[in-house]
Amino acid sequence: MFIRNESFYSFRKNYPVITVLVAIHFILFLWMNLLPGGRFIAEIGIGYNLAVAYYGEYWRLVTPIFMHLGLGHVLFNSFSLVIFGPGLEKMLGKVKFLTLYLFAGIIANIATFYLGGLSYPQHLGASGAIFGLFGAYVYIVLNRKNLIDRANSQLVMTILIIGLVMTFVNSNINILAHLFGLIGGAALAPILLTGVRSFSMYQHVHEPQSVSFNPNRWARHRKNKKLLVKSAWILFIIFVLFGLGSRLF
């Protein structure tokens, strides 16, 4: 579920919402840092509680979800989305997945507005929405065990615990956004997961030459399960190390 072995073409075809979201991340990042008008875009879109309260700039509850200033910040959040988003986009479908992602991010920013107060510093980043994905996974692990296998369940919970520890340890972290993004994703999950089948039951293409998914294929590859788990942990370690290097997560 979390091991990515598709070509760029296959990934773009199978996960169009994630592809578009990541593209928006980098387009806005490049615009804000390198192109004319970037400073204005940053100033008008960044989360700013004072501007929301006094000037009614409510779009600031949405726009920060797509904005990043630092290279490490945009790379880490985009990397997280590419790794942990596909399973949910495939199970939920494009509309439900986008609903989960956006509403979790908006809930995170609303919580920052109401609980952070007018003196809360300016904030931006997709981490609240990404924690919303983790919230949905937590609900699946606890209440819809038929949708995820044990190995992936353990991996999700381990990464979530590490992510929560990092939330409280690192500086420059929007703790409210992380926590309420997580809560928002878990709250939305039972509604959005209605009628959803396991990720392994969906047809998904890795390469153009392989156009269908055969459930029996997994039975033939059970011997490779340990290798997949090891690969997942290597990926996880890289993920954590990269996250530790990004102070803006």
As a whole number of angstroms, the distance between CA 100 and CA 196 comes to 14
78, 80, 127, 153: the catalytic one is 127
* pLDDT number for residue 209: 46
**Contact yes or no for 175/168 (Cβ under 8 A):** yes
As a whole number of angstroms, the distance between CA 181 and CA 188 comes to 11
Residue type, 60: R
In the structure encoding, which two tokens stand for residue 11, read together? Answer: 């990934």
Residue 80 a catalytic site member: no
Residue 119 a catalytic site member: no
73, 153, 178, 246: the catalytic one is 178
As a whole number of angstroms, the distance between CA 12 and CA 14 comes to 6
Q: Report domain extents, the chain.
A: 8-245
Q: Which stretches of the chain drop beneath a pLDDT of 50?
A: 204-215, 217-221, 241, 244-249
pLDDT tens for each residue of 52-70:
999 999 999 999 999 998 8
In 3-state terms the chain splits into helix, strand, coil percentages (rounded to 5) of 75, 0, 25
> CB burial class (10 A; 0-12, 13-18, 19+) of residue 109?
buried
pLDDT tens for each residue of 69-80:
889 899 999 999
**Contact yes or no for 8/22 (Cβ under 8 A):** no
**Superfamily classification of domain 8-245:** Rhomboid-like (1.20.1540.10)
